[in-house]
Amino acid sequence: MPDRITVHGLTGHGFHGVYPAERERGQTFRVDAVLELDTAPAAAADDLTRTVNYAELSQRLHAVLVGEPVDLLETLAQRLADLCLAYPVVEAVEITVHKPDADLGVPAADVTVAIRRGR
């Protein structure tokens, strides 16, 4: 099993969705990102440059989350995955996008789209 770095519950106000009200008012979105990588080189050298700086990653993920609106959660998840895979040490990533306030016409706690991408 590969090593993992996880950012869980990253939250932002975005304007993603296909309906006009979603684009006008926006809503809360959450992201979980699970990065798979070998952390042994960083651990052996105690060197942040040999791993992923999760504070920097979180800032970059948040910028995408609250940035340019897209229609589909699938598109948003792919953009977030691409960002994670831009780090050379990341072998694979799983992204889950949460849309807890999605209007489904019936009561629901959350809607998620989860994708896994690798090199």
Domains of the chain from N-terminus onward: 3-118 (3.30.1130.10)
Active site residues: 99
Q: Residue-wise over 60-99: b if at least 16 C-beta within 10 A, else e? A: bbeebbbeeebeebeebbbbbbebbbebebbebbbbbbbb
Give the per-residue pLDDT at 55: 98
Render pLDDT for 58-100 as a digit per residue (tens, 0 to 9): 999 999 999 999 999 999 999 999 999 999 999 999 999 999 9
Render pLDDT for 25-51 as a digit per residue (tens, 0 to 9): 999 999 999 999 999 999 999 999 999
